[in-house]
């Protein structure tokens, strides 16, 4: 039998692009539209899929939030322009059950959730990925800014080439199995300008479309109003209490506060600025105090997804870099496994405003590799 001399294509398959089927997850934004257009231009068998995630309504059909009604229209126009099939899948029920409901419940539980991570984990990289396989696709491509690189033990997840656009914090739950099937063509680009230039090159109408900023089902960044609609009557009043025990005032509901918050506390007249240091859900108390109380040295993390080559338990502690907020740079830390999916993270330098419900993402201290992460349960 003669060896296969066909070169590997740009998606890593040893066959012609025309024989490689790729499902592209299209939100209607610039990034995923460019991915779909570029792959179609290279001759791949592209199928575009857009998810309808919620009942849009006039309030949500706005620029700056992904997957609203206008975005479905924009995705369809790109498919027509580049001549590939496009489908809209109704995922409203799945999205509500796996993302929105948990967002509401965790917020009421005093956490600060990151629903975009749950959406990637439970909808896009789970149900949509399975749909792609049902369509006999060889892989699924997305517009995320992150890199998939070939390592000695299989594909690895790496930060994007452009640190300003890097989305590794939001993709830490990606499993090794999912990584085998996923592709991220934009991860190697050096800037968003390159993406927009490609959109113009392909004459896409969305080349100047603004980036999405808000959580798609929180139209104006007003979490509290969304929670009140999802859980009517859940916002119960309580006390604002200083860390030293003094009662400073009253609040209209814990859902109006997050750990680290300074503005809008409603307790003026004090000489030093106060911050929300914790939320006591059981007693409906918002605990406030000086900035120093926000510093955390140790973090308990659960639901860990480990992407390292060696077993998570192969050492008592891992010397890594970790990111505890999407907007903060990775910090040096020691990660000590407690069980297969829990760990204690000791920060070498304390971080401020570490909040339950946020992610703690692990990075290799030597390079750009993403080693997984978990969810912050508590910190001290």
DSSP result, 77-111 = HHHHHHT--EEEEE-HHHHIIIIIHHHHHHHHTT-
Taking the domain 235-289, which CATH number applies? Answer: 2.30.30.280
Domain ranges of the chain: 17-201, 235-289, 294-379
Q: What is the mean pLDDT of the chain?
A: 92
Neighbours of 296 (CB within 10 A): 20
Q: What percent of the chain has pLDDT over 70?
A: 94
pLDDT for 277: 94
Tens of pLDDT, residue by residue over 38-58, are 999 999 999 999 999 876 443
Kindly state the average pLDDT of the residues 207-217: 83
> Whole-angstrom Cα distance, residue 43 to residue 185?
15
What is the structure's pLDDT at 356? 94
Q: What is the mean pLDDT of residues 264-269?
A: 79
Distances in Å between the Cα of 327 and the Cα atoms of 95, 230, 323, 339 are 25, 28, 9, 28
Please give the Cα distance from 45 to 140 (Å, whole number): 12
Catalytic residues: 119, 216
Give tens-digit pLDDT for 300-357. 999 999 999 999 999 999 999 999 999 889 999 999 999 989 999 999 999 998 999 9
Q: How far is Cα 241 from Cα 234, in angstroms, rounded to an integer?
A: 20
Using CA atoms, how far apart are residues 117 and 103, in angstroms rounded to an integer? 11
CATH architecture of 17-201: 3-Layer(aba) Sandwich (3.40)
pLDDT tens readout for residues 144-193? 999 999 999 999 999 999 999 999 999 999 999 999 999 999 999 999 99
Mean pLDDT, rounded, for 260-278:
85
Checking if the pLDDT of 63 tops 70, the result is no
pLDDT for res 59: 37
Alpha-carbon distance 250 to 264, whole Å?
12
Question: Binning pLDDT at 50, 70 and 90, where does residue 233 land?
Answer: confident
Q: Of the CATH numbers 3.65.10.10, 2.40.30.10, 3.40.1390.10, 3.30.1860.10, which one belongs to the domain with range 294-379?
A: 2.40.30.10
Residue 278: partners with Cβ closer than 8 Å, 6 or more residues away: 110, 259, 287
């Amino acid at each position: 039998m003669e060896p296969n001399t066909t070169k590997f294509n740009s998606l890593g398959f040893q066959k012609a692009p025309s024989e490689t089927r790729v499902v592209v997850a299209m939100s209607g934004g610039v990034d995923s539209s460019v991915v779909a257009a570029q792959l179609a231009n290279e001759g791949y068998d592209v199928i575009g899929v857009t998810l309808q995630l919620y009942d849009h309504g006039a309030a949500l059909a706005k620029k700056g939030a992904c997957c609203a009604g206008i975005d479905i229209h924009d995705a369809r126009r790109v498919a027509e322009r580049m001549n590939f099939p496009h489908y809209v899948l109704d995922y409203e029920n799945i999205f509500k059950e796996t993302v929105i409901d948990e967002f509401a419940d965790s917020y009421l539980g005093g956490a600060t959730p990151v629903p975009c991570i749950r959406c990637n984990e439970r909808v896009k990289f789970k149900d949509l990925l399975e749909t792609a396989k049902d369509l006999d696709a060889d892989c699924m491509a997305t517009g995320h800014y992150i890199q998939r690189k070939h390592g000695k033990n299989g594909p690895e997840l790496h930060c994007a080439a452009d640190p300003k656009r890097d989305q590794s914090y939001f993709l830490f739950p990606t499993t090794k199995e999912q990584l085998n099937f996923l592709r991220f063509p934009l991860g190697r680009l050096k800037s968003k300008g390159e993406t927009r230039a490609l959109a113009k090159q392909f004459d896409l109408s969305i080349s100047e479309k603004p980036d999405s900023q808000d959580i798609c089902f929180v139209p104006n960044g007003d979490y509290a109003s969304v929670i009140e609609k999802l859980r009517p009557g859940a916002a119960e009043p309580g006390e604002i209490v200083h860390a030293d025990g003094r009662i400073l005032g009253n609040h209209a509901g814990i859902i109006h506060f997050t750990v680290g918050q300074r503005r809008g506390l409603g307790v003026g007249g004090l000489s030093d600025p106060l911050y929300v240091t914790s939320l006591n859900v059981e007693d409906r108390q918002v605990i406030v105090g000086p900035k120093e109380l926000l510093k955390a040295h140790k973090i308990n993390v659960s639901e860990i997804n480990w992407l390292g080559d060696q077993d998570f338990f192969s050492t008592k502690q891992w010397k890594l870099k970790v990111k505890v907020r999407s907007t903060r740079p990775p910090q040096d830390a020691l990660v000590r496994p407690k069980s297969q999916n829990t760990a204690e993270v000791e920060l070498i330098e304390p971080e401020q405003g570490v909040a339950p419900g946020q992610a703690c993402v692990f990075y290799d201290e030597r390079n750009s590799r993403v080693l997984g992460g978990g969810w912050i349960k508590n910190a001290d």
